[in-house]
Amino acid sequence: MFPNATTYRADIDGLRAFAVVSVVLYHAFPPAAPGGFVGVDVFFVISGFLISSILVDDLNEHRFSFVGFYSRRARRIFPALTVCLAASLAYGFVALTPSELAQLGKHVFFGAGFLSNIALWSEAGYFDTAASYKPLLHLWSLGIEEQFYILWPVLLWGAFRLKANLRWLLVVLLIVSFGVNVALSIADLSNDFYLPISRFWELLVGGALALFGRRVAAGAQLRSAASIAGAGALLSSVALFTPELRYPGWFALLPVAGAAAMIFAGPDAPINRAVLSSRACVAVGLISYPLYIWHWPLISYAYVIRLGKPPTPLLALALVSASFLLAWITYRFVELPVRFGAMRRRNTVLVCACLATVGIFGAIVWAGGGFPERFPRLPGVDIQKVGAARLDADFKPTADMEVSEHDWTLVARLGARERKIALSGDSLLFHYGPRAQQLLEDSRLAVSAFFVTGPRCPPVPGVVQEDKFSACSDLTAKLLEVVRREKVRSVVLGAAWSGYSAEGMSIKRDGTRLSLTTGEGQDAFYASLEEFVRELQSEGAAIYLVLGLPTHEAFAPRNMVARGITGFRIAPNVDATIRVSDLKGVLARSDARLRAIGSRTGAALLDPFPDICGAGAACSPFFGAGEPKYSDQSHLRPAFVRENLHFLDRLLE
């Protein structure tokens, strides 16, 4: 027999309210709850506790059946999800370009199959579509929960039948899952965030509470202390955590422990009784699931309509209010009748069929590319080409590159000739790779080309970044390793030079750490670059520095579309050219620094500007038959690079 499970507790609905309000505030008013994303971790602990409690009751009373369990899950989860998926997809036909609608169709399909976390994991990367443009991004957590619901009942049922030692099973699973979480938080944050194995420990903590929590002898004082400590941990997480943390990793222990402490404290602990069990908290907790389901699509579509700008405070308040209203309507008129109405077997079949139908429609939209034919071709600009351009910039190797990855640093080889060249820098250097690929396909590539690159990784020793790009620090060491091992005799260095001056960026030089937002930090940045140039020259390599390339908001395909709540259209003056003098003015300071380094070291300078803008006084955002040159304001599209970027040819041929 398993230990008795916990009966209904109003304070857990109150804890749900805390979790969902934290997430909603984080999305709608980020400064108010910078760590509000931990609400999802609280949901995981609650889910693990409640599901395990239900399973324990059923197993102890010998009434458990997989059909009954999953039928209850379907009636609980499917109704609100189906309505939200259908509404999000329907509005996508109005508000989204073909490429955006195709991606939404994909997410509807995976969302209906509870595989959103896997779909989002497969898309994660430097050039992934911004999170704010994904109306169904939040369903990743639902995917992890449902994947847990598939495995955990089988394990519990098997343990019950075999009379296995469940304590040891839990310990092993917790250690393995948490260990994977910590390892992935160091190696790959995307894997850690989205993969179920690195998140299951959070649900297992809740499961352990359901299975063994009641065995722990705890007096009123201990439970009161647990309640206070848990509340402190949760509030501290919401107030002090930020999106820049390597999360979940070790950091997730704080909100998970806080949620576990609140559940362990029991309904009679002071905070649980006075706050979490209050009518207001319980009311919000009861609609927490549909509130979570509805709030993000509304906020995300606001970002889409506002071209990536966050909602104003007034608009955010209106969206949150609408989320609460939709959540209550969904709970009252959709969820409750399906869960507790008559003919539950029929309701189960019905909601399963409805969710499957919505998923199939999503797949059709995805396969149809968002149905671009629903829009007439517009004079001079094709909306389908504009939409496709936004999805055309992946930080990924070309077809014939041989690749080895080192966290955020990628080493790729193209060609197999005796003469060798290394090209190193960030994404603005790697996006020239398609030109080398084209030369290879034309049998004109006369070198072995090594690309040593990383997204937002400058080829400058000592640069420190405190977010996910912190792993860039070994880029220069990897380049030196390649140069020495392969006896490379030509090295090209390129980057978004003027972009390394943002908050959170610094450089270590002569034992001192300097912010790159200061003049002193910028001096150190270019001094370190110059020293690195000389170090490479001492290895016998000729050095080439790539000057800045034109960047402008008008180049970004997302700005070529004017949005509104009732749809979109091509933006006015979308084909207007930009003065070359204005584009070069933005680069004047960084280009002057590079020219000075070239003058002092003998490094040659390479200028991509003429290939991109031509020899005239103005630069067009388009090439060919209305094709955008860029995928955003600064990254060139592979199709444009392959045929139009020739400034590297003399080094590659």
CATH code, domain with 498: 3.40.50.2300
**Domain shared by 193 and 313, yes or no:** yes
**Domain shared by 358 and 447, yes or no:** no
Pick from 336, 353, 370: which residue ends a domain?
370
* Residue 409 pLDDT: 82
Q: Please give the span between the terminal C-alpha atoms of the chain, in angstroms, as a whole number.
A: 75
The verdict on residue 375 lying in a domain is no
**Domain shared by 416 and 296, yes or no:** no
Domain residues for 520?
395-549+587-614+640-652
The verdict on residue 328 lying in a domain is yes
Q: Give the residue from 405, 407, 469 showing the smallest Cα distance to 188.
A: 407
Indicate the SS3 state at residue 228.
helix
Contact between 521 and 460 (Cβ < 8 Å):
no
Question: What are 578-626's pLDDT values in tens digits?
Answer: 999 999 999 999 999 999 999 999 999 999 999 999 989 999 999 988 8
**Domain shared by 327 and 465, yes or no:** no
Mean pLDDT estimate for the chain: 91
The verdict on residue 432 lying in a domain is yes
Residue 238 has φ and ψ, to the nearest 5°, of -65, -35
pLDDT at 400 over 80: yes
User: What is the mean pLDDT of the segment spanning 178-206?
Assistant: 92
Pick from 321, 355, 370: which residue ends a domain?
370
The verdict on residue 56 lying in a domain is yes
* Residue 570 pLDDT: 77
Q: Which residue matches tokens 């850690």?
A: 192
Confidence band for 34, pLDDT divided at 50, 70 and 90: very high
Contact between 269 and 224 (Cβ < 8 Å):
yes
pLDDT at 406 over 70: no
User: What is the mean pLDDT of the segment spanning 8-12?
Assistant: 92
Pairing between strand 622-623 and 448-453? Answer: unpaired
**Domain shared by 402 and 366, yes or no:** no
Helix (H) or strand (E) holding 563: strand 561-564
Question: What are 503-529's pLDDT values in tens digits?
Answer: 888 999 888 899 999 999 999 999 999
Neighbouring C-alpha atoms within 13 Å toward the C-beta of 523:
5
Q: How many CB atoms lie within 10 A of CB 61?
A: 8
Q: CA 486, CA 448: separation in Å to the nearest integer?
A: 10
**Residue 357 identity:** T
pLDDT at 316 over 90: yes
pLDDT at 455 over 60: yes
**Domain shared by 291 and 412, yes or no:** no
The verdict on residue 470 lying in a domain is yes
User: What is the mean pLDDT of the segment spanning 168-179?
Assistant: 93
Distances (CA, A) of 404 to 58, 317, 401, 478, 647: 50, 47, 10, 11, 27
List of residues 6+ apart from 284 with CB closer than 8 A: 16, 17, 20, 21, 291
**Domain shared by 355 and 451, yes or no:** no
Cis amide leading into 608 (omega within 30): no
Pick from 370, 387, 413: which residue ends a domain?
370
**Domain shared by 297 and 436, yes or no:** no
**Domain shared by 143 and 36, yes or no:** yes
Neighbouring C-alpha atoms within 13 Å toward the C-beta of 32:
12
Total domains in the fold of the chain: 2
Residue 417 has φ and ψ, to the nearest 5°, of -105, 165
Q: What whole-number percentage of the chain has pLDDT above 90?
A: 71
Confidence band for 467, pLDDT divided at 50, 70 and 90: low
For the record, the structure tokens of 102 come out as 């195709």
* Residue 126 pLDDT: 47
pLDDT at 205 over 80: yes
User: What is the mean pLDDT of the segment spanning 255-270?
Assistant: 95
List of residues 6+ apart from 449 with CB closer than 8 A: 413, 414, 415, 420, 421, 422, 423, 436, 652
**Domain shared by 318 and 210, yes or no:** yes
The verdict on residue 566 lying in a domain is no
The verdict on residue 526 lying in a domain is yes
* Residue 1 pLDDT: 46
pLDDT at 259 over 50: yes
pLDDT at 280 over 60: yes
* Residue 601 pLDDT: 97
* Residue 308 pLDDT: 83
Question: What are 98-123's pLDDT values in tens digits?
Answer: 888 999 999 999 999 999 999 999 88
Q: What whole-number percentage of the chain has pLDDT above 70?
A: 95
Q: CA 87, CA 253: separation in Å to the nearest integer?
A: 36
For the record, the structure tokens of 483 come out as 């140069």
pLDDT at 23 over 70: yes
The verdict on residue 353 lying in a domain is yes
pLDDT at 79 over 80: yes
pLDDT at 132 over 90: no
**Domain shared by 72 and 132, yes or no:** yes
**Domain shared by 445 and 299, yes or no:** no
pLDDT at 137 over 90: yes
pLDDT at 336 over 90: yes
